[in-house]
Amino acid sequence: MSAPRVLVLGGKAGILRKAADLGLDVVNIQKPSAFDPAAVAYCTQIHLMDYQDIPAVTALAEALHATSPFSRVLTQTEAAQVVAGHLTTHLGLPGNGDEITRALHDKRALRELLNARGLGPVAVERGTDRSALRDFVRRHGAAVVKPTMGSGSLGVRLIHSAEEADAAWDWLESFGLKDFMVEELLTGTELSVETFSCAGDHTVLAVTGKDTGAGVVELGHVVPARISPEQADTVAEFTCQVLDAVGLVDGTAHTEIMLTGQGPRVIESHARRGGDRINDLVEIACGVDMEQLAYRQALPGFRVPGISGAGCAAAIRFLTAEPGRVVAVEGIEEARSLDGVLDVRIQVEPGDTVRPLHWSEDRCGQILVRAEDSERAEALARRAAGLITIRTVPQGQDAAVDEPLTLGRLLTEVDEVLDPFAAAHAH
Q: Is residue 406 a part of any domain in this protein? A: no
Please give the C-alpha separations between residue 143 and each of 148, 192, 256, 294, in angstroms, as whole numbers.
15, 21, 17, 35
162 and 193 assigned to the same domain? no
pLDDT tens digits for range 30-76: 999 999 999 999 999 999 999 999 999 999 999 999 999 999 999 99
3-class SS of residue 416: coil
- Residues in Cβ contact with 252 at an 8 Å cutoff, skipping those fewer than 6 apart: 76, 194, 195, 196, 197, 271, 272, 273, 290, 293, 294
**How many structural domains compose the chain?**
4
What CATH number is associated with residue 302? 3.30.470.20
Q: Is residue 103 a part of any domain in this protein? A: no
Identify the pLDDT of residue 401: 47
**What are the helix (H) ranges across 93-217?**
98-105, 107-117, 130-140, 165-175
- Please choose, from the candidates 411, 247, 383, 253, the residue with its C-alpha nearest in 3D space to the C-alpha of residue 317: 383
Percentage of the chain beyond pLDDT 70 is 96
Angstrom distance (rounded) from CA 69 to CA 334: 52
Q: Maximum Cα–Cα distance for the chain, whole Å?
A: 67
Q: Is residue 425 a part of any domain in this protein? A: no
336 and 388 assigned to the same domain? yes
Q: Identify the domain boundary among 135, 161, 184.
A: 184
pLDDT, mean over the chain: 94
Q: Is residue 153 a part of any domain in this protein? A: yes
207 and 152 assigned to the same domain? no
What CATH number is associated with residue 168? 3.30.1490.20
Q: Identify the domain boundary among 311, 342, 364.
A: 311
249 and 290 assigned to the same domain? yes
280 and 333 assigned to the same domain? no
307 and 193 assigned to the same domain? yes
Q: Is residue 174 a part of any domain in this protein? A: yes
Q: Identify the domain boundary among 164, 184, 204.
A: 184
pLDDT tens digits for range 359-397: 899 999 999 999 999 999 999 999 999 999 999 999 865
Instruction: Please provide residue 211's backbone torsions phi and psi, each rounded to the nearest 5 degrees.
Output: -130, 120
Identify the pLDDT of residue 1: 57
Q: Is residue 112 a part of any domain in this protein? A: no
Q: Is residue 115 a part of any domain in this protein? A: no
Instruction: Please provide residue 417's backbone torsions phi and psi, each rounded to the nearest 5 degrees.
Output: -120, 150
Q: What is the mean pLDDT of residues 250-271?
A: 97
192 and 239 assigned to the same domain? yes
323 and 266 assigned to the same domain? no
- Predicted confidence band at 254 (pLDDT cuts at 50, 70, 90)? very high
Percentage of the chain beyond pLDDT 90 is 86
280 and 304 assigned to the same domain? yes
Q: Is residue 110 a part of any domain in this protein? A: no
252 and 266 assigned to the same domain? yes
344 and 382 assigned to the same domain? yes
- Which structural domain range is residue 375 located in? 312-397
318 and 350 assigned to the same domain? yes
pLDDT tens digits for range 177-236: 888 999 999 999 999 999 999 999 999 999 999 999 988 999 999 999 999 999 999 999
**What are the helix (H) ranges across 212-261?**
229-246
Contact 253, 247 (CB under 8 A): no
Does the model's pTM come out above 0.75? yes
What CATH number is associated with residue 86? 3.40.50.20
Identify the pLDDT of residue 252: 97
